[in-house]
Structure 1
Amino acid sequence: MRKSSIYAVLFALVLVLVACGDSEDTTEDSTTTDEVTDEVWEEIKEEGVITVGTSGTLYPTSYYPEGSDELTGFEVEVQREIANRLGVDVEFEIMAYDAILSAINSGRVDMTSMGLRGERKEQFAYTQPIKYSFATMIVRKDDHSGIEKLEDLEGKLAGGAATTVYSEIAEKFGAEVKTYGNATNDAYLRDVHNGRTDVVINDYYLQSLAIQAFPEFNIEIHPDLKFHTSTTSIVMPKEAEKLREEVDAIVAEMLEDGTLREISEEFFDGQDVTVEPEGDVIEIEGIAK
């Protein structure tokens, strides 16, 4: 974790030596060095630890199995493998989803796994994707919560976390968003089942596994609505270019040797999230990619 300023800029002196004498020989030696050091990377190497921000409540990407105090999940195990290949230890900081990027900017954590879009792509460094997906919605099984198309979200109550693209989509189509903070899946799903909310919009792979854990709930993934393709990458401070290069090379290596696919299949019920989804997916005008 960073303890000092992000930039370390070393300016060399320009030395000009002029020799004048009876001879006409004149020697000028000019040396300039302008090197920017990635202080995030230097400190990680020095301390031998990389700090990762994660929710710890989102199955199957970052969660504690029942009866266990050992954090695991797709993103957690990918980050552990990255740390291992970097030759450093990894420490996880559990925090609300919408606090993680601020924690990266403040130096509290060094990296996370997240999908960046719009202006945020210019504010952080990130690797090639470790996961491809799209959005779906969980609705009540008996009547689809009265939703057959995206426009039917008008007037509905959607469960969601603050500042996510899924809440933005719900609001774009006229739904009111009920926010939960860093809640676990059962809180969201139980409210749809009980009618306290109408819908939860989220990542397809996450939702397809979440509902399997609650077969007694009157909920299902909407059978006809697939929208807003997305990617997840490893995200770091904008100025941590050396760290980004190192981690991106490891991600490419893990894709090549099959490690990412194996971790995906372990946590996503045999599905490979490292390839782009097939089929038609609705893209929503006005929602940043």
Structure 2
Amino acid sequence: MKRFVLLLAIGLITLLAACGGDDKESTSAGVSESEVTDEVWEKIQDEGVLTVGTAGTLYPSTYYPEDSDELTGYEVEIQREIANRLGVDIEFEVMGFDAILTALDSGRIDMTAMGLRGERKEKFSYTQPIKYSYATMIVRKDDHSGINSLEDLEGKVAGGAATTVYSEIAEKFGAEVKTYGNATNDAYLRDVHNGRTDVVINDYYLQSLAIQAFPEFNIELHPDLKFHTSTASIVMPKHADKLHQEVEQIVADMLEDGTLKKISEEFFDGQDVSVEPEEDIIEIEGIAK
């Protein structure tokens, strides 16, 4: 297991609307499937290239294996397969997580993979989920950092990033958030181990893998606290109607034919993140989904 940064990611599901008539699927604007187009789709077809924005440092979703310059990961390989099924090449632009949606909005990239919540859901187009998850906490093993409930976060120091839902949760319950730049897992987890911070709140699947890489640290996943369900989707510009239509269908096909499950099991230690977890999850009032 290599040492990479935590994925901060959370989002919601949407489906294409359809209505009958002449066996042609229609968009919400009443345009038949064969007539739907958009500038993003036309550019991709003209250039023969799908440009994807990704962080490249978020194991196991988007990362470079040690001693390799070949980008890989769960999200990366899904988007490679989407490009393959579209019949175009793919180019990845590696950038900071917070810059990806700006690049998507400006037209620098055509697509990304992440979760959207709150107002961001209204600004972009997105597919049904490619990943379901929930939040957990990494705490010190010997005393769980004094945290036995979400309310016990009050007065604690949480390692995280300033603009994520995980930091919002920490702050809602009274924790101070210690922010990091493009740091690797060892920076986050070592600080919990040595007491500089008390907790890291993040995605269950990612934290369960990250923690395995540091058996020497006095840390573990909190055994009792599972909260705030989340999803991640393929995200595109708001008015990229044809691209959305095509990618939505490909994601549905990949779910049905088992491709999502196969890729998930490769990167998530045999676990299938493409289906909803069967867990009793605490939902937090006032945190946007």
After superposition, residues 1-289 of structure 1 pair within 5 angstroms as: 37-289=37-289
1:118 Cα offset (Å): 1.3
1:36 Cα offset (Å): 7.6
Q: Percent identity?
A: 84
Structure-2 separation of matches of 1:119 and 1:64: 32
Structure-1 separation of matches of 2:130 and 2:92: 19
Say if 1:59 and 1:185, in contact at 8 Å, map to a contact too.
Answer: no
Runs of 4+ in 1 over 2 A off after TM superposition: none
Query: 1:172 is matched by which residue type in structure 2?
Result: K
1:162 Cα offset (Å): 2.3
Structure-2 separation of matches of 1:184 and 1:55: 12
Cα-to-partner distance string for 1:251-283 (whole Å, 9 max, x where unaligned): 001011100000000000000001101121000
Report what 1:13 is aligned to. none
Call closer, same or farther: CA 1:81–1:165 in 2, change over 3 Å: same
Structure-2 separation of matches of 1:226 and 1:179: 22
> Gaps (5+ residues) in structure 1?
1-32
Structure-1 separation of matches of 2:193 and 2:103: 34
Say if 2:132 and 2:277, in contact at 8 Å, map to a contact too.
Answer: yes
Query: 2:72 is matched by which residue type in structure 1?
Result: T
Structure-2 separation of matches of 1:216 and 1:165: 29
Say if 2:36 and 2:242, in contact at 8 Å, map to a contact too.
Answer: no
Structure-2 separation of matches of 1:116 and 1:274: 17
Report what 1:14 is aligned to. none
Query: 1:231 is matched by which residue type in structure 2?
Result: T
Cα-to-partner distance string for 1:12-43 (whole Å, 9 max, x where unaligned): xxxxxxxxxxxxxxxxxxxxx9x884101100
TM-score, structure 2 normalization:
0.86
Q: Give the match's secondary structure for 1:118.
A: coil
1:60 Cα offset (Å): 0.7
Q: Give the match's secondary structure for 1:69.
A: coil
Say if 1:95 and 1:182, in contact at 8 Å, map to a contact too.
Answer: no
Q: Greater CA radius of gyration, 1 or 2?
A: 1
Q: Give the match's secondary structure for 2:246.
A: helix
Structure-1 separation of matches of 2:179 and 2:41: 36
Q: Give the match's secondary structure for 2:163.
A: coil
Q: Give the match's secondary structure for 1:217.
A: coil
Cα-to-partner distance string for 1:64-121 (whole Å, 9 max, x where unaligned): 1111111111011111111111111111111111111111111111111111111111
Q: Give the match's secondary structure for 1:189.
A: helix
> Gaps (5+ residues) in structure 2?
1-30
Structure-1 separation of matches of 2:194 and 2:61: 26
Cα-to-partner distance string for 1:140-179 (whole Å, 9 max, x where unaligned): 1111111110011111111112211111101111111111
Say if 1:159 and 1:200, in contact at 8 Å, map to a contact too.
Answer: yes
Say if 1:135 and 1:203, in contact at 8 Å, map to a contact too.
Answer: yes
TM-score, structure 1 normalization:
0.86
Query: 2:93 is matched by which residue type in structure 1?
Result: E
Q: Give the match's secondary structure for 2:133.
A: strand
Q: Which has the higher contact order (CA 8 A, sep 6+)?
A: 2
Query: 1:146 is matched by which residue type in structure 2?
Result: G
Q: Give the match's secondary structure for 1:251.
A: helix
Structure-1 separation of matches of 2:96 and 2:175: 23
Query: 1:54 is matched by which residue type in structure 2?
Result: T
